[in-house]
Amino acid sequence: MIDLSKEDIKLVATIWSNIKTGRAASKQQKEDAVAFWNKVGNKRYKLSTSCGACLSDVYTGVAKLYEKYYGID
């Protein structure tokens, strides 16, 4: 995984706060999380994906980034 820019590190906190329960409150929050993970994780998931494995990868990846940059929540 690449090192993130300061802007992306701030986005990690925002995205994590939106998905940390395992569920995004809105379709837009889910799409934002997938788009962010596509960018930093070098993935190509559709923004509208409902694939459980894909969304699990997004969740796990963002969780690892949050832990790396912000510690355990």
| Residue-number span of the structural domain to which 59 is assigned | 6-70
For residue 2, pLDDT beyond 90: no
For residue 44, pLDDT beyond 90: yes
Distance of CA 6 to the CA centre of its chain: 16
- d(CA 27, CA 41) in angstroms, rounded, equals 20
Residue 60 domain-assigned (yes or no)? yes
pLDDT value of position 57: 97
CA 63, 42, 36: angle at the middle one, nearest 5? Answer: 50
Residue 15 domain-assigned (yes or no)? yes
What is this structure's pTM? 0.92
CA 12, 53, 49: angle at the middle one, nearest 5? Answer: 75
Tally the domains of the chain: 1
pLDDT value of position 1: 58
Share of the chain above pLDDT 90, in %: 92
Residue 1 domain-assigned (yes or no)? no
pLDDT value of position 25: 94
The separation between the first and the last C-alpha atoms of the chain, rounded to the nearest angstrom, is 21
pLDDT band, residue 72 (cuts 50/70/90): confident
